[in-house]
A and B are shown apart, each in its own frame.
Chain A
Amino acid sequence: MSLTLPATESARIRSHLLGAYPEEGCGVLLGQDLPGGRRVERAIPIDNRGEGARHNRYVIGPEQFLAAEKQGREAGLDVVGFFHSHPDHPAEPSGFDLEQAWPYYSYLIVSVSRGRVTEMRSWRLAEDRSRFDTEALVLVPPTDADPAADGET
């Protein structure tokens, strides 16, 4: 299992999560499953709808999910996962992440500490819901052709 993340999208994710710090930020990953692994084509930042403790909770509501899915369908992409930050916590799934997890999706967790991204890891739920397994995260370096990603959406 692997998740390939182009530099533009990784920059978009970082910028959104740094902006949300010290609250948790989150978003949807659109992409496709290719024979060589899963590839993200576009990261969509989402307003964290969590009520109350946004410093350690994020929520992407069903309406937001449907909107992202529609955006993906128009571009020929699927929802392949989600990203969220753990402010001042490691990029590892919490018990709460596990309780709430869906199978199939990639859960990209980004540790943000004192306004800096310190760690990025991607996870998938095990078949029996007992744990998360880590998946290889392949970061594609930027090319000259990439427009500067500044996190605007």
Chain B
Amino acid sequence: MKPRTRVHIPTALRLYAGNQPVVEVEGDTVGEALQALVSGHGELRRHLYDEEGRLRRFVNVYKNGHDVRYLEREATPIGPNDTLAIVPSIAGGADPSSPGESGAPADAPARPARPAPPDWVTGADGLPPISQAELLRYGRHLILPEVGLQGQRKLKAAAVLIVGAGGLGSPLALYLAAAGVGRIGIVDFDRVEESNLQRQILHGTSSVGRPKLESAKARLLDLNPGVRVDTYETRLTSENALDILSPYDIVVDGTDNFPTRYLVNDACVLLGKPNVYGSIFRFEGQASVFDAARGPCYRCLYPEPPPPGLVPSCAEGGVLGVLPGVIGVIQGIETIKLILGGGEPLIGRLLLFDALAMTFRELALRKDPACPLCGERRTIDRLIDYEQFCGLTPAEQAGVTAEALEITAKELAANRERGDVPVLIDVREPHEHEIARIPGSTLIPLNTLPARVSELDTSRMIVLHCHHGQRSMRALEFLRQSGFQKLKNLRGGIDAWSRDVDPTVPRY
């Protein structure tokens, strides 16, 4: 006499088991017990077993509370005191290939027996299927064993958010779209300017003046109509960052300012997403992958932002147009490696690229146990005000607003017209002064200002200018702290002067 085992029947199947919640059957193994169950209750068979006689994928069997998949499956031995339970798992989902089709062929069970199409055709394993056209398009990937069909399907299933459609975002977005990354999101709020085209190869001359997202999306969909491109025409802020980032698997940071960089880092750590980082300046670039689950975050590397003004932006310091190509492509490679899951990701390593020396160096990064975000004791558990954190909130502490310290190009011209001629100081670099200058200005480059401050007269009104107004604002702050009171910053710099007052001054 074989042992009798109790089998719990789920509500859904009781109708086919004589309306009993528990059925006792004989058998030495799980497989035998189930066979005994379906021979006693014939109608159960088609719900538990498929046409080939295999237990259906969504039927789970538990022995004393343990999934037999992790024991010996159907060969798992059972005794008289053991209890089996049939537990449903539920799956489904829209048909990927045929929106609008009700996929319920009336003769499904009567299908002639032929080998089931593989998962990469049906997508039955949960990854998206690959079409004939995609086989051709991605052929060079498919023959790489490290990518192959599974890897290409992972790329298709992946969602990557690119913050910034500029110098880094351009090559990155192009290569991710070309590689078949299924969903690409881009956050940007700028319009294309002529001066972007030296490096931002997503955009073209015909797009000047139009939103960057418009030209980016058109270019990416032309390159690969099979990818989905979602655009977010907004500045990334503490209010919207978590919502924008959350549908994506990986975030790539292509920003050029510290507040957004810290914001992207913090949001990624809070959401548990990897952040593929890159930055560029003049002839040098950096890249890393910050994934707090596996290594350091950006705050472990730079707990505090540099004081405002210490690190000039590309608009001020310049950048070799090809440089973001190199760094953006490195970010693209790292992103694809994260999706495929192979290779050695750039986690815990900071890659330094020097284009003039043509060298790549690598620094080991360590997770900071005291990191307030990803360390042992997290003190930051939400997004903060990053403008303030980076010291960029205008100089209101002294009761003076930034506006009160500014003068427009037209006002300055009108004052000079009237004979009210202030001292005009150009804080740009000599080579910029060579390209364009406002008549009557004196060149004192920002970094030489502290040494030459004695040349200036505190009793006279001083107007400071640079290219766009950022460096001169820092010069103004410096002079204010040195005791100067009659100070103005030319809003928009020499660029605004040439646009609004004197078009003979070249713009660059």
Residues of A at the B interface (CB closer than 8 Å) are: 22-24, 26, 50-53, 55-62, 65-66, 78-79, 82, 84, 86-90, 92-105, 107, 128-132
Q: A53-B127, A88-B94, A131-B108 are in contact. List 5 more A-B contacts (CB 8 A).
A: A52-B154, A53-B128, A62-B89, A79-B11, A130-B106
B103 lies within 8 A of A97 (CB): yes
Contact B154 A65 (CB under 8 A): no
Question: Which B residue sits closest to A84, measured CB to CB?
Answer: B92
Instruction: Decide: A132 and B87 in contact? CB cutoff 8 A.
Output: no
Find out whether the CB atom of A87 lies under 8 angstroms from the CB atom of B13.
no
* CB-defined contacts of B107 to chain A, threshold 8 Å: 130
A128 contacts across to B, CB distance below 8 A:
46, 109
Contacts of B128 in A (CB 8 A): 52-53, 56
B91 within 8 A of A: yes
* Docked pose: A61 CA to B464 CA in angstroms: 66
The answer, yes or no, to whether B67 is at the interface (CB within 8 Å) is: yes
As a 0/1 sequence over residues 46 to 63 of chain B, the CB contacts with chain A under 8 angstroms (1 = contact) are: 110000000001101010
How many angstroms from the CA of A60 to the CA of B62 in the assembled complex?
A: 16
B contact residues around A23 at 8 Å (CB) = 247
Closest to B246 in A: A19
A26 to B301 Cα, complex, angstroms: 40
B8 to A: closest C-beta gap in Å: 11
* Cβ-defined contact, A60 with B126, below 8 A: no
Tell me, yes or no, whether B90 is within 8 Å of chain A by CB.
Answer: yes
Is there an interface contact between A52 and B153, defined as CB atoms closer than 8 Å? yes
Q: For B43, give the chain A residue with the smallest CB separation.
A: A127
Interface hub of B57, B58, B60, B102 (most chain A Cβ within 10 A): B102
Contacts of A132 in B (CB 8 A): 104
Contacts of B87 in A (CB 8 A): 62, 65-66
Considering the complex, give the chain A residue whose CB is closest to the CB of B85. Answer: A66
Neighbour of B13 across the interface among A51, A66, A95, A104, CB < 8 A? A104
**Do A103 and B12 contact each other (CB < 8 Å), given the known contacts A53-B123, A98-B104, A129-B109?**
yes
Determine the distance from Cα of A53 to Cα of B249 in the docked complex, in whole angstroms: 12
Contacts of A55 in B (CB 8 A): 157, 183
CA distance A97 to B95 in the complex (A): 9
Partner among B11, B92, B102, B127 whose Cβ is within 8 Å of the Cβ of A52? B127
CB-CB contacts below 8 Å: B8-50 with A: 11-13, 15-16, 46-47
Partner of B103, one of A51, A79, A98, A102: A98
CB distance from B108 to the nearest CB of A (A): 6
Cβ 8 A contact of A24, one of B11, B12, B94, B153: B94
B104 in complex: contacting residue of A61, A87, A89, A93, CB < 8 Å: A93
Contacts of A59 in B (CB 8 A): 89-91, 126
Interface residues in chain B, defined as those with a beta carbon under 8 Å from any beta carbon in chain A: 11-13, 15-16, 46-47, 57-58, 60, 62, 67, 87-96, 99-109, 123-128, 153-154, 157, 183, 247
Nearest to B154 among chain A residues (CB) is: A52
Residue of B nearest to A22 (CB): B247
Closest Cβ–Cβ distance, residue B506 to chain A (whole Å): 47
| Chain A residues with CB below 8 A from B157, complex form | 52-53, 55
> Which residues from chain B contact A24 at a C-beta distance below 8 Å?
93-94
Of chain B, the residue at the smallest CB distance from A100 is B91
Q: Which 9 A-B residue pairings sit nearest by Cβ, starting from the closest?
A: A95-B103, A89-B94, A94-B95, A97-B92, A104-B12, A86-B94, A57-B93, A62-B60, A52-B127
A83 to B96, CA, bound (A): 19
Give the CA-CA distance A26 to B94 in the complex, in Å.
12
List 18 interface pairs A-B (beta carbons < 8 Å), by A numbering. Answer: A52-B125, A52-B154, A56-B94, A58-B93, A62-B87, A78-B11, A89-B95, A89-B99, A92-B103, A94-B93, A96-B91, A103-B16, A103-B47, A104-B11, A129-B46, A129-B47, A130-B108, A131-B105
Closest residue of chain A to B12 (Cβ to Cβ) is: A104
The complex places the Cα of A104 from the Cα of B380 at a distance, in Å, of: 48
Give CA–CA (A125, B222) in the complex, Å.
43
Distance of B39 from chain A, by nearest CB (Å): 19
Interchain CA distance A90-B103 in the complex, whole Å = 11
B91 with A90: CB separation less than 8 A: no
Closest residue on chain A to residue B65 by CB atoms: A66
Does the CB pair A65–B103 fall under 8 Å?
no
User: A88 CA to B153 CA in the complex, in Å?
Assistant: 21
- Of chain A, the residue at the smallest CB distance from B103 is A95
For B61, the closest partner residue in chain A by CB is: A62
